[in-house]
Homo-oligomer: A and B are copies of this chain.
Amino acid sequence: MPISFSDSGSLYSQLITRLRDVRDIQSAAAVLQWDRATYMPLGGATARGRQLATLRQVAHEKLCDPVLGEILEQLDGEAQQYPYESDEASLIRVARRDYEQARRVPAEFMARLSHHQTESYLAWAEAREAGGFERVCPYLEKTLDLSREWASFFPECDRPADSLIALSDEGMTSRVLEELFSQLRGELVPIVEAIAAAPPIETKLLQQEFPETAQLNFCAKLMERIGYDFSRGRQDATLHPFTTSFSINDVRITTRTDLHNLTESLFCSLHEMGHALYEQNIDLALEATPLADGTSSGIHESQSRLWENLVGRSRAFWECFYPRLQGFFLRQLGQSSVCDFYRAINRVACTPIRTAADEVTYNLHVMIRFELEVAMLEGKLAVEDLPEAWNSCYERDLGITPANANEGVLQDVHWYAKLIGGQFQGYTLGNLIASQLFETALKQHPEIPVDLERGNFSTLLTWLQRNVYRHGRKFTADELVDRITGMPIHIDPFLRYIRSKYGDLYHLDL
């Protein structure tokens, strides 16, 4: 057993065993989801939805078992004798949090939710094919009902969004987020306006024909070079890329390619690799416990965005890798300089799709979604009025109107496959945290930019491994950021980064 606990050995080992069973069933569900998104034939969809619901219900029942609650209660006192950050105290603390949350939610609700999510996802896929919000509207209404029902299990929360936010960003509340986001929006909108008024950057070199197998091969080599371990992971193609973990030694990336757009696979791969580096580098002693996960959606996104943007869209990084990329695509890129490429991959533009957005506008997309989901949960926005509200937010913050529902309200899978509430704040928290962590790493290791130019990632990776990755879920996002940077999560490092980088790129004083 990876975790030892000299006293109360048998009680603690009972805890470990019970939690491991829950985790095994959750991991099995993750395999079934991964297969559904990568290899499953169409015909398999109905049974797969049912199988997932069954697994989730079984896992939920095991997690809510009152015997587990008793074990946790008995261990609580003894956990106090261990340091806060010890494996033992952390496991008992986090398991107790999971237990307290799970036991509020009836297993019957979990199964009902899982069934609905499968149906809703299929309706969304159809709506995107046929191009209509009407197709999903009734499903989304039911999702909103279920999301409120979820919130009703946590009456101690001030606002319905809070229990949903806690699902992925423990410790965060809608009030704190609204404050943070309002500050950020206030700073970002003028920056975006200034850039929009400047001469646009040329991106033609990215819009050529890039054979897709070569794109995947280059991305795989790049990820391996940075530190993603293919003997403990793999890369597969899918429609909506994600990273999934079946154990610390089996963390898989999915990606998508676009024949006519090199940046799709490139930054999608670096993004998912960031998630995967986190999961692959959790301390192996935490394997098969509830600690063997990223601690929050915000911290997870901080890692995907750090590697995608702070590293992957930096000049230093491409000084090293652009010649190699040219080697893969000599005909397409042979004549352009690393400077052209660096500028092209950092073009800022007000476009409708979140996942394709640049670093500057990206958070505006996220904050619109956050605002809309809170409004729906609080009864201030009816589901049927969502497309109109969506479009007016885009007009207000980005000055554009989506051409159709696929470019608008149907673009993200989240509301159609999960719940409404708590789905998006992690993306912006991630951007903020990424900058805050990176700034600290640079302070402690000023050699990092030169390392990147040389394709040497060990200093940065080791720093992240030591400060973030190995801990898994031991610390909340707030605790972790404070431990590392000595400050709470805040917007300044991100804004300093954006102002400096994009001021240079656009010759503006931002």
Question: Is the beta-carbon distance between A43 and B249 smaller than 8 angstroms?
Answer: yes
A97 at the interface (CB under 8 A from B): no
Residues of A within 8 A of B (CB): 20-21, 24-25, 27-29, 31-32, 35, 39-44, 46-48, 50-51, 54-55, 58, 229-234, 236, 246-250, 252, 287-288
CB closest residue in chain B, given A54:
B24
Q: A133–B44 Cα gap in the complex (Å)?
A: 41
Question: Is the beta-carbon distance between A287 and B47 smaller than 8 angstroms?
Answer: yes
CB closest residue in chain B, given A247:
B47
Question: Is the beta-carbon distance between A20 and B50 smaller than 8 angstroms?
Answer: yes
Residues of B within 8 A of A232 (CB): 41-44
Residues of B within 8 A of A42 (CB): 231-232
Contact of A246 among B47, B230, B234, B287 (CB under 8 A): B47
Question: Is the beta-carbon distance between A47 and B32 smaller than 8 angstroms?
Answer: no
Expressed in whole angstroms, the minimum distance between the Cβ of A286 and any Cβ of chain B is 13
Question: Is the beta-carbon distance between B43 and A233 smaller than 8 angstroms?
Answer: yes
Contact of A249 among B21, B28, B46, B54 (CB under 8 A): B46
**Could you list 30 examples of A-B contacts with CB < 8 Å?**
A20-B50, A20-B54, A21-B54, A21-B58, A24-B55, A27-B47, A28-B29, A28-B32, A28-B55, A31-B32, A39-B234, A39-B236, A41-B234, A41-B249, A42-B231, A43-B229, A43-B232, A43-B233, A43-B250, A44-B247, A44-B249, A44-B250, A46-B247, A46-B249, A47-B248, A47-B287, A47-B288, A48-B246, A48-B247, A58-B58
Question: Is the beta-carbon distance between B288 and A50 smaller than 8 angstroms?
Answer: yes
Expressed in whole angstroms, the minimum distance between the Cβ of A292 and any Cβ of chain B is 10
Contact of A250 among B28, B31, B47, B230 (CB under 8 A): B47
Expressed in whole angstroms, the minimum distance between the Cβ of A73 and any Cβ of chain B is 25
Contact of A41 among B35, B43, B54, B230 (CB under 8 A): B230
Question: Is the beta-carbon distance between B288 and A58 smaller than 8 angstroms?
Answer: no
Question: Is the beta-carbon distance between B24 and A246 smaller than 8 angstroms?
Answer: no
Contact of A47 among B39, B47, B249, B252 (CB under 8 A): B249
Question: Is the beta-carbon distance between B24 and A31 smaller than 8 angstroms?
Answer: no
Given A35-B35, A249-B46, are A27 and B41 also a contact pair (CB < 8 Å)? no
Given A43-B232, A234-B41, A250-B41, are A50 and B32 also a contact pair (CB < 8 Å)? no
Q: A31–B28 Cα gap in the complex (Å)?
A: 9
Indicate the member of A28, A39, A247 with the most B CB atoms within 10 Å.
A28
Expressed in whole angstroms, the minimum distance between the Cβ of A230 and any Cβ of chain B is 7
Residues of B within 8 A of A46 (CB): 247, 249
Q: A50–B47 Cα gap in the complex (Å)?
A: 24
Residues of B within 8 A of A249 (CB): 41, 43-44, 46-47
Residues of B within 8 A of A43 (CB): 229, 231-233, 247, 249-250
Question: Is the beta-carbon distance between A54 and B40 smaller than 8 angstroms?
Answer: no
Residues of B within 8 A of A250 (CB): 40-41, 43-44, 47-48
Expressed in whole angstroms, the minimum distance between the Cβ of A285 and any Cβ of chain B is 14
Indicate the member of A44, A46, A231 with the most B CB atoms within 10 Å.
A44
Q: Give me 7 other A-B pairs in contact (C-beta within 8 A), A20-B54, A41-B233, A41-B234 excluded.
A: A28-B28, A28-B29, A28-B31, A28-B32, A39-B234, A47-B249, A47-B250
Q: A41–B20 Cα gap in the complex (Å)?
A: 21
Indicate the member of A50, A248, A252 with the most B CB atoms within 10 Å.
A50
Q: A58–B58 Cα gap in the complex (Å)?
A: 9
Residues of B within 8 A of A40 (CB): 250
Contact of A31 among B35, B234, B236, B287 (CB under 8 A): B35
Expressed in whole angstroms, the minimum distance between the Cβ of A41 and any Cβ of chain B is 5
Q: A252–B35 Cα gap in the complex (Å)?
A: 12
Q: A32–B25 Cα gap in the complex (Å)?
A: 11
Expressed in whole angstroms, the minimum distance between the Cβ of A35 and any Cβ of chain B is 6
Contact of A50 among B24, B48, B233 (CB under 8 A): B24
